[in-house]
């Protein structure tokens, strides 16, 4: 192998070419590198940098205005919603207070208690209404029956009932008695209190004309009350 590589000394093995210049850094300054197509413009106009900043500023200003307007609309909408909600709650509160004023004393002021007591009172009033309708039907039955009569005698009846349990029941019993005697009530004036129940009745007493076998009035006046 030595015949192919014959060197006298170790120095003969080294390259004898001139040394290349060594770059001290791998980074290159950005400003020193021109951009293709923009080199002449960049050197000829030094205000391009300021123009870009100005354009960016104007762009941000134009976009900021619609954002501020939309934000203001949202704030105004939220404010209106808040005011409407407050007014609704105030109206609801006034309605509950008005309902509470019509309930029995001692009712709690919270919403659940007001609704429960009001529902109980409504049910009680419904039962009372049905009872009054039943008694009204019974009273109409007393006045609605037609009885044959030949003569009518008007009169007034006054009565008082101390400490009545029910004024309607007392009046109903009086009307039943008048019906049994053949009388018809034309008007009623009554006063009711826990201590006394009083009434004045305008009635028409129905009487029949007695006739003999010939169909003529008898000699005794021809009148007798219908029983």
Q: How much is the pTM?
A: 0.34
Under a CB-based contact definition with an 8 Å cutoff, are residues 163 and 178 in contact? no
Which of 2-11, 101-110, 152-161 is the least confident region? 2-11
Q: Which of 84-98, 137-151, 189-203 has the lowest mean pLDDT?
A: 137-151
pLDDT value at residue 90: 92
Domain ranges of the chain: 36-101, 108-144, 148-225
Q: pLDDT digits over 178-219, tens only?
A: 677 666 777 777 776 777 777 777 777 655 444 443 444 444
């Amino acid at each position: 192998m030595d015949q192919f590589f014959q060197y006298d000394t170790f120095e003969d093995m080294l390259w004898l070419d001139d040394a290349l210049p060594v770059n001290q850094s791998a980074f290159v300054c950005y400003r020193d590198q021109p951009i293709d197509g923009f080199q002449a413009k960049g050197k000829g106009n030094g205000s391009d940098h300021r123009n870009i900043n100005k354009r960016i500023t104007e762009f941000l200003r134009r976009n900021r205005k619609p954002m501020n307007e939309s934000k203001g609309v949202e704030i105004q909408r939220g404010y209106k919603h808040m005011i409407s909600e407050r007014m609704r709650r105030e109206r609801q509160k006034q309605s509950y207070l008005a309902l509470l004023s019509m309930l029995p004393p001692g009712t709690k002021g919270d919403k659940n208690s007001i609704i429960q007591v009001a529902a109980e009172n409504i049910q009680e009033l419904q039962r009372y209404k049905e009872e009054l309708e039943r008694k009204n039907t019974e009273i109409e039955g007393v006045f609605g029956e037609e009885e044959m009569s030949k003569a009518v005698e008007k009169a007034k009846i006054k009565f008082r009932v101390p400490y009545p349990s029910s004024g309607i029941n007392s009046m109903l019993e009086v009307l039943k008695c008048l019906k049994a005697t053949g009388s018809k009530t034309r008007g009623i004036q009554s006063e009711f209190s826990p201590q006394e129940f009083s009434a004045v009745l305008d009635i028409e007493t129905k009487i029949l004309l007695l006739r003999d076998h010939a169909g003529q009035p008898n000699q005794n006046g021809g009148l007798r009350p219908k029983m």
